[in-house]
Chains A and B, each alone.
Chain A
Amino acid sequence: NAGVTQTPKFRVLKTGQSMTLLCAQDMNHEYMYWYRQDPGMGLRLIHYSVGEGTTAKGEVPDGYNVSRLKKQNFLLGLESAAPSQTSVYFCATQRGMEAFFGQGTRLTVV
Chain B
Amino acid sequence: KQEVTQIPAALSVPEGENLVLNCSFTDSAIYNLQWFRQDPGKGLTSLLLIQSSQREQTSGRLNASLDKSSGRSTLYIAASQPGDSATYLCVRSNDYKLSFGAGTTVTVRA
Q: Using a CB–CB distance below 8 Å, which chain A residues touch chain B?
A: 1, 31, 33, 42-43, 45, 48, 50, 90, 92, 94, 96-104, 106
Contact = CB atoms under 8 A, between A and B. Distances in A.
Contact of A103 (B34, B43, B46, B89): B43
Interface string B31-70: 1101010000111111001011000000000000000000
Among A43, A45, A96, A97, the most chain B Cβ lie within 10 Å of the Cβ of A97
Nearest to B51: A97
Looking at chain B's contact residues, the main secondary structure is strand
Contacts, number: 51
Contacts of B91: 99
Interface residues of B, number: 24
B93 interface: yes
B103 A99 contact: no
Contact of A97 (B31, B41, B89): B31
A102 B100 contact: no
21 contacts: A1-B43, A1-B46, A31-B96, A33-B98, A42-B102, A45-B98, A48-B96, A50-B96, A90-B43, A90-B44, A94-B93, A96-B32, A97-B31, A97-B32, A97-B34, A98-B46, A99-B34, A99-B91, A99-B98, A101-B44, A104-B42
